[in-house]
Structure 1
Amino acid sequence: IGDAALLNRLEDHKAMLRRLADPRITTRAQADSIIAGAVPIYWMTAGLHSTELGPPEMVMELAYRLAVEDGEPFETIRHNVITLITPVLEVDGRTRQVEWYRRHVQGYTDRNDMPPRSPPFWGHYTFHDNNRDGIMVSQPLTRNYLEVFFEWRPTVSLDLHESVPLLYVSGGTGPYNETIDPLTIGEWHMLANYEVARVTSMDMPGVWTWGFYTGWYPGYLLWVTNNHNAMGRFYETFGNGTAETMERDLSDASYAGKKITTRQWYRSVPPPAKLNWSMRNNTNYMETGAIASLEMVAENPRLFLENFYRKGVRAMERGRSRPPYAFHIPAEQHDRDAARQLIDILRLQGIEVGVVTKDVDLGEDHQLAEGDLIVSSNQPFGPLARNLLMKQEFPEDAEHSPYDDVAWTLGLMLGVETHRIDDAAVLEVPVDPLAGDGPFAPGADLPRRRNVWAIPHLGQRELGPFRFAIPDVPVYAAGAAFEDGGRSFPAGTLLIDADSVSEAQLRSALSTRALELVSLRRMPDVERHTLDVPRIAVFQSWLSTQNAGWVRYTLDQAGVPYTLIGKDRVRAGNLGRDFDVLLIPQFGGGTRAKSIVAGVDPKWSPLAYTTTPEYPSHGVILSADDITGGIGFVGLEAIRLFVTEGGTLVALGSGTTLVTETGMIHDVSIKRPSGLNTPGSVITAKVLQPDSPLTYGYPELTHVFRGNGPLFSVAKYRRYLVPLQFGTKYVGLDAADDDDEADESDADDAPPLVLSGGVVKGKLDGEAAMVHTTLGDGHLVLFAWNPMHRHITQHDHALVYNAIMFWNDLDRPGAAEDASP
């Protein structure tokens, strides 16, 4: 939206902003000329979270007013700003939500006594986490957003949401992400203060900033703009989650430790304790704020364009003057496929990657080999490269708790070796632009055929899925390390008789996987596991589909077949007839078994999620005539029988409560230590049972990504149930009791407990990270964290695939396996 003069030269304006974005092709004088003739592009987005019904309605009205309304500020906005509006980002979710409202929610006006306001699904995989994919860019929605950004280069973005009363204008309490330019932070507050003052001046109470969210995590969708030298913000307007008008009580609502009804420096006129709130109120507040925001940008176009250019200049200057100057990614990687994905992510984000053209010795253990990769900080998006590749250190003295994950170091998250280089000489290393996948391309050519094919197990995320790519071929895994031709192979190495598989089958299975295939002269003389392909069921509760969605996405991407089941299939029993492995994903971090067993309140029965002519978007992914109720005690007994009759149950994070809080097993229980806070951090872990198939591929000291959730209570005399622990502290029968709150590892040279991220402030070092126990003839493998979190914790995926791949090769744990200090 803009006046005719702007729209007639739309492509010219887009081109000018693309030139401003790269100071290497635009001199200061050229930038001044562009700024004099260009205008900012302001991108407004709505409908990301489907239950937040107001924003898509508001922007349609706003678009009309911006296009046709006379007088100020509309004429100045049309003349000085190109406004880009996306009315609905999550289009499938919007359709499902509207149909859900009409089918089940319409007419209910008591917010405390109404059916669930949301349908079970929004997008095909993601629910609320569609706003947490800005780093991995795994979903089409995120990729579309990134593509639009690079095409239009919007100077300012505003993502419209609903939650807190009455209108929150983002600014954040801090701590702020350390790689974001101070100019961006200044713009956040400049616009926020103007909008709060402008809307409040119109006798609209309850408009505020600062006291919600931090500004640390860079993976939100709108942070695509902040990460690329533009400026992104969001609104949270009060909403009812339906189109109905409701009486709302705000008397108990608090943010940043202060009641919402109190006057603060950031909220000069608080909202009343009680009020009637409607969709019209929602629109009025949000639209007034958006117009004020556009007004501010329209009155200061040169300022925002100047800042846009200067942020690119300052990024280059920091890359030349402050360490780290670059990051080194060796061509030799234990997981080449993960390294390929890391490179894909960087380039998708607009970060340039170079290939070293000759061997270079930088000293201090920084030897660069020809073919290695270098990511320089001296580029327009150098700060983003630092953000993604450096370790995070969330401040220990932060006044306010983190709003989301506090770590995202891609080398650790994906399991890729990277090295920070603080020597400015790296900027002079000759490199060529990386073409294609470089050293991490999938294997198209096979080595010379001998008698046995082998793939070393090094914890690669694609090793387990490879087995599913050739389901009809007998595949074995070495039960111990061995040597062949002077080379050592670790336990867990996959072995295939060359006569049992065609080269075409191998090429097909390896065409998308950068796995090393080795030809051996003979089958090694070691114990072997026969890797029977299991039939997998993934359980989903109708109360929480988000994390099951990420599991589905991960398995689908890996080509691992599974069947998604809900409460009705579990309650029907006889699970072992159809399945060998039952995978229970993480639910919410604080989920207890009661909610899984009880499910959605049956008072609202029946709540159908089925496809009908009137509701064609429903019944997709999984359907049910009635989503109320949970698995119940009948379902719980069905799961118990599944395990006792020889099935394997794999539970992630809070999904473990289904067996640990219900009395299904007796040797492990749940604990939730007070004060412990691991809000998404990379934690050191130690393998206690290297001979267990569950830990194949991982070194003794490794790491995992842990968010908040329950821990396991395992008696010291049952420590043999723990193949993997958090930290390095020894916990055994002869270990001294330690009641100190602080974590302390025994060895002076032990790595820190937190490798990236922060907080903790409670006992975690030495706690069980994974438990393996038995029930009847079956096995239970329990994870005290969610190893399939948002598709970003891919370093941890092989642990899940180990549990699945070796589902019927696990020995019964016994006291003789207790780890020594």
Structure 2
Amino acid sequence: MKPTFKILFALLVLFSLELKAQKVDEAYVQKIKDFTTDERFLPKSLLDIVDHPSIPSPLKHFGHIIGTEGIVHRTSEIYGYYQKLAESSPLVHMQEMGRTEEDRPFYLIVIGNQESMDRLDHYKDQLAKLADARKTSPEQAEQIIMDSKPVYYVSAGMHATEMGAPEMLMELAYRLVTSDANDINAIRENVITVINPVSEPDGWDKQVDWYFRYTKGREKFDDGFPRSTPYWAKYVFHDNNRDGLQVSQEITKSIFKGFFEFHPTVMLDLHESVPLLYISTGTGPYNEFVDPITQSEWQVMGNHDVAEVSAQGMPGAFTWAFYDGWWPGYGIWVANNHNSNGRFYETYGNAGADTYLRDYSTAKFAGDLASSKEWYRPDPATPLVYWSFRNNINYTQVGVIASLYYAATNGQLLLRNFYKKGYNSIEKGKKEGPKAFTIAKEQRDPAMVAYLANQLKVQGIEVHENDSHYVVLSEQPYRNLLVSLLTPQSYPKEAKYPPYDAIAWTLPYLYGVNVEAKEEVDFDVSSLKMLTEDAVYEGKISGSGNTYILPYHAQNTVLPALYSLKKDNKNAEISILTKETEIGGQTYGAGSLILKKVNADQASKIASGFGLDLESSNANISSDDLKTVNLPRVAVYHTWYNSQDEGWTRYTFEERGIPYTSIDKDDLKAGGLKSKFDVIIMPRIRGNAKNFVNGVDKKFGPMPFTKTAEFPSHGFPASTNDMTGGPGFMGVDNLRKFGEEGGVIISFDNMSAILAELGIASELSPVSTSGLFHPGSIIRAKARKSDSPVLYGFGESFQLFRGNGPLLQTDKYNRDLMLVQYGFDPLKDEVEYDGHIMGMPEREKVEKREKNEKNPDYVIAGMVRNEQEIVGHGSVFSLPLGKGTVVAFTFDPLHRYLNHHDSPMVWNALINWDKLRK
């Protein structure tokens, strides 16, 4: 044996002896036992935590173990511990992955054996090669697989109230670095573990402050007290796990960045909701564009993990009966959409570190009691459990270790499957249609065309272009995702269990962009250029003259362009055409804008900065056809008990560049609203009029949400000295006065039903339906009053995105208040009677339509059951309120920054706020 090899061998022997000589940290183990409430919740595999001489355990670092009663850690403390691990061990690498909206860092923690860490870039390169079968043949893939390791990505803390996993992962990281248990050693040697310790740091720190400020030590879990801070991130609450199509929030951008850097073979997202440990597979129906290999992996890995948890004697682990597997917009679905494998856990959680008696005896999933013994739940727990923070951590950790061990012992299989899924996608692109999609650059809203091209790029889909079109060829690794995004979804009506979320996401319909699917490539591919930079539509200015005309087609950027113009030039005169008008021999539709006292530079800024085409002219325009645009002072209302959709509204306004003021219950109670605002936006909220009027129960008050030295993360994005209570009837009356004095109230979805219940939208009444089931689908709507300013730029019929929102209607004599209806057929009470009317002369009968003549299908993408119950009912209403107006939407036109085609109805209402009452 050569000297060098002798030295290496001696070092390896010494390292092995050191590991074997390491003793168990008895103090840590005893604390685990102390904080676990039942022996069956106490896995023996977690009772061997190492007392390492140089790498600090959580006990040595913090002075207490993970899962200690009453203790959770802020992100600075969590990141500090990982930093200490990285400093103490060469097996830990820590890297920043971006910043949150509040400028906290996102981190990833990478753990593997020394060889893995030394060759980390090599392994990332290997997986990148496997990700693109155009560059890697099957034979080359086999060689790469033999010199590769699966990357297993584990994330936690996406939902702030789910507080166990971010704590657990610190203990798991310590185990992965120090333990010489057979399973841990196999994981360390054969897997590169990537940990996202806190997916949403802003929300986590707010929730930790909330726990210490309000919920720590409460005697009962179900006492009505709000367990969550009112805000998580700056904009998005629970929907931060519904941003995978938009990729609008910093959390999602960080997740995507991590995926495309590491190409994880598996991504596991850790959540908390159902008892005691759910391991995802879903009931189906599964997304049609997820490779069957992935669907099969879900089953194998889910059952493997349940078996491993059960093997340790731990009851309550199950699979199948929760969630479906259809909608592709969850954060972790970046994996399933890109030929990897995305999974999640749901562990029972207490929204903090207290112990409670939890009763789930009536909880059901897929029709079965959560405590029943089923094929998918082989060992149920009792219907009541005395549940601690440490119990939660035990369950999640055992499950994750089992899942990592599966990857360690099946690495080549997972890597081969990863390659094969990309290979299958490319082969489908070669052999199946559509072979390509073409998107004309010149359309109704060219800026949205560019946006669609960019959104495809964000998903890793290759986009090409020529002078007139964007072109997307199907022969590429993410072909399945491409076809899924650009073609309609068809959710099976006979599905036994309800869908978990929306069931349609066809981007061309949501964006209002025409896309042509090509079954054959009938154009010159060699003339195409890869789109490497973001697509931008720069508007053009044509003609000559001192007046600029902006032809209106309900473009999304018009309103922000007008605000920008007035900010730059207060003397600019903006007028709007109230009807179709001929100017200089050209016809312009209602809603087209006339800009005067605007110089060439300002016009150019509008065209290039907002993607709008302008025409300059000296033609005379009749003042009879014009009305002056007075841009409104806008308020967006938020409650303190449900900030989800208000956050999306704020994000949309800020992203579009539309100024607004955020208001709450105290502003309504203070009154004088019309002196401050012209329009108040009332976003969708949950609940009913009682919830809106009363807000958070005053028996819990006062409850400040203010930034203090002790609770530094509170007070943003809104602050109050007392969250409890609502606007009360005084605030409701002040809101009514705002409308009566000439203000405009715009309500979305369930908020419209609340205003109807409160009598502010008094002409509206709820409609009782039997069996209508309308999960988020794209449907057809018909204009009832196409001359309404709210519908400027829209045709006689168009598509909308609608979920299970309220169904409202007016009395028959008030149907002129309905601007838009769902579907094309009339309501039964609107069908014209064609029989004989006694006392009147016989009428000439109107010919009925032939039986084979029928209106287009109501559903464009998704599924609606018993659609006859909704067709003919109103989707948008314009209701008088004194001198003002209520514009009531029975869907959300600003849903999750997705349905951009629908949102110009809101922008129309803002542009024309003082012209809605003709």
Q: TM-score, normalised by structure 2?
A: 0.84
Distance 2:181 2:207 in 1: 37
1:761 to 858, 863, 866: 866
Q: How does 1:86-97 map to 2 (within 5 A)?
A: 86-97=196-207
2:626 to 504, 528, 541: 528
Other-structure match for 1:399: 496
**Contact 1:316 1:379 (8 Å CA) reproduced:** yes
Is 1:515–2:612 an aligned residue pair? yes
Is 1:664–2:760 an aligned residue pair? yes
Give how far 1:298 is off. 0.3
1:779 to 879, 885, 888: 885
Other-structure match for 1:587: 685
Other-structure match for 2:706: 610
Distance 1:320 1:711 in 2: 45
**Contact 2:584 2:619 (8 Å CA) reproduced:** no
Q: How does 1:718-757 map to 2 (within 5 A)?
A: 718-731=814-827, 734-735=830-831, 748-757=853-862
SS at match of 2:465: strand
Distance 2:544 2:251 in 1: 44
Higher mean displacement: 370-379 or 182-191: 370-379
Identity over aligned pairs, percent: 41
Give how far 1:448 is off. 4.6
Q: How does 1:566-645 map to 2 (within 5 A)?
A: 566-588=664-686, 591-645=687-741
Look up the equivalent residue of 2:463 and give its one-letter code: V
SS at match of 2:426: helix
Q: How does 1:394-543 map to 2 (within 5 A)?
A: 394-423=491-520, 430-436=527-533, 440-443=536-539, 446-471=541-566, 472=570, 473-497=572-596, 500-525=597-622, 526-543=624-641
Look up the equivalent residue of 2:683 and give its one-letter code: P
1:320 to 430, 433, 444: 430
- Cα-to-partner distance string for 1:710-739 (whole Å, 9 max, x where unaligned): 1112122211001111111124865169xx
Other-structure match for 1:366: none
Look up the equivalent residue of 1:804 and give its one-letter code: L
- Cα-to-partner distance string for 1:270-313 (whole Å, 9 max, x where unaligned): 12111100110000000000000001110011000001111111
Give how far 1:760 is off. 3.3
Look up the equivalent residue of 1:480 and give its one-letter code: K
- Cα-to-partner distance string for 1:317-372 (whole Å, 9 max, x where unaligned): 1111112222221122111111111111100111011225xxxxxxxxxxxxx622
Higher mean displacement: 315-324 or 80-89: 315-324
Distance 1:335 1:749 in 2: 30
Look up the equivalent residue of 1:634 and give its one-letter code: M
Give how far 1:424 is off. 5.6
Q: TM-score, normalised by structure 1?
A: 0.94
2:165 to 42, 55, 80: 55
Other-structure match for 1:740: none
Distance 1:51 1:676 in 2: 33
Other-structure match for 1:708: 804
Distance 1:465 1:726 in 2: 29
Other-structure match for 2:421: 311
Distance 1:190 1:486 in 2: 69
Give how far 1:451 is off. 2.9
Look up the equivalent residue of 2:165 and give its one-letter code: P
**Contact 1:672 1:709 (8 Å CA) reproduced:** no
Give how far 1:58 is off. 0.7
Larger radius of gyration: 2
Structure 1 residues 733 and 116: CA distance shift in structure 2, 3 A: closer
SS at match of 1:293: helix
Give how far 1:148 is off. 1.1
Distance 2:695 2:813 in 1: 36
Distance 1:523 1:610 in 2: 57
Give how far 1:434 is off. 2.6
**Contact 2:172 2:397 (8 Å CA) reproduced:** yes
Structure 1 residues 437 and 520: CA distance shift in structure 2, 3 A: farther
Look up the equivalent residue of 1:317 and give its one-letter code: E
Distance 1:229 1:629 in 2: 49
Distance 2:762 2:648 in 1: 30
SS at match of 1:391: coil
Give how far 1:683 is off. 1.1
Give how far 1:247 is off. 0.2
**Contact 2:607 2:613 (8 Å CA) reproduced:** no
Distance 1:169 1:306 in 2: 23
SS at match of 1:628: coil
1:797 to 886, 903, 909: 903
Distance 2:255 2:342 in 1: 13
Which runs of 5 or more residues in structure 1 are unaligned? 357-369, 738-743, 813-821
Q: How does 1:135-154 map to 2 (within 5 A)?
A: 135-154=245-264
Between the two proteins, the alignment pairs up a number of residues equal to: 788
Distance 2:790 2:246 in 1: 27
Q: How does 1:292-311 map to 2 (within 5 A)?
A: 292-311=402-421
Distance 1:451 1:180 in 2: 56
Other-structure match for 2:63: none
SS at match of 1:447: strand
- Cα-to-partner distance string for 1:132-178 (whole Å, 9 max, x where unaligned): 00001011111111111111111110000000000000001000000
SS at match of 1:337: helix
Other-structure match for 2:400: 290
Higher mean displacement: 91-100 or 660-669: 660-669
**Contact 2:818 2:877 (8 Å CA) reproduced:** yes
SS at match of 2:182: coil
Distance 1:217 1:355 in 2: 29
Structure 1 residues 798 and 194: CA distance shift in structure 2, 3 A: same
Distance 1:54 1:672 in 2: 42
1:379 to 468, 473, 476: 476
Structure 1 residues 745 and 13: CA distance shift in structure 2, 3 A: farther
Which runs of 5 or more residues in structure 2 are unaligned? 1-110, 834-848
Distance 1:673 1:528 in 2: 43
Look up the equivalent residue of 2:613 and give its one-letter code: E
